[in-house]
């Protein structure tokens, strides 16, 4: 884990330096956070954000006061969405075959688009949107099952 505001993970071994205010983590610390239950992980990130001064708080919180580094509350529903959206979903069952079939169909359509439309911005956008639809097709399978 890294910045509690953006959820970006930083490893001290990365060549690119994080923006000011981001909390760099050693790989071991990030791995430990990944193993924690979600509520504990969020609490730990809040503590780290407060300790590093990224909460935006002008004063120290009173003892026992909850530190909230985010401006808006994170509901249980949005936590579930974030966890599902940003978690690796290894393929299971026939998912790999379905990914391949959908990709092959999209590839055939891509050739149809290129072969039957003039080159230009619109063609490029059509191919980009087709790529996006492939992403969402795969995400629907991976996240929905």
Q: d(Cα 130, Cα 113) in Å, to the nearest integer?
A: 10
Q: Of 53-62, 90-99, 102-111, which range is least confident?
A: 53-62
Which residues are CB-contacts of 49 (< 8 A; sequence separation ≥ 6)? 3, 4, 5, 23, 55, 67, 69
Asked whether residue 140 carries a pLDDT value surpassing 50, the answer given is yes
Residue whose entry in the numeric block shows the structure tokens 């974030």: 82
Q: d(Cα 82, Cα 76) in Å, to the nearest integer?
A: 10
At 53 the pLDDT is 56
Q: What is the pLDDT of residues 24-82, one digit of tens each?
A: 556 677 777 778 887 787 777 777 766 665 544 444 445 555 555 677 888 888 888 88
Q: Name the DSSP class of 74.
A: -
């Amino acid at each position: 884990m890294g910045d509690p505001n953006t959820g970006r993970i930083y490893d001290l071994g990365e060549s690119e330096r994080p923006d000011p205010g981001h909390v760099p983590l050693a790989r071991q610390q990030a791995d430990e956070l990944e193993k924690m239950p979600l509520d504990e992980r969020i609490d730990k990130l809040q503590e780290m954000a407060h300790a590093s001064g990224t909460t935006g708080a002008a004063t120290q919180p009173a003892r026992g006061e909850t530190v909230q580094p985010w401006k808006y509350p994170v509901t249980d529903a949005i936590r579930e969405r974030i966890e599902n959206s940003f978690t690796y979903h290894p393929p299971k069952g026939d998912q790999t075959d379905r990914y391949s079939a959908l990709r092959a169909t999209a590839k055939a359509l891509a050739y149809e688009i290129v072969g039957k439309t003039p080159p230009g911005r619109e063609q490029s956008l059509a191919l980009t949107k087709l790529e996006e639809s492939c992403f969402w097709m795969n995400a629907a399978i991976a996240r929905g099952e």
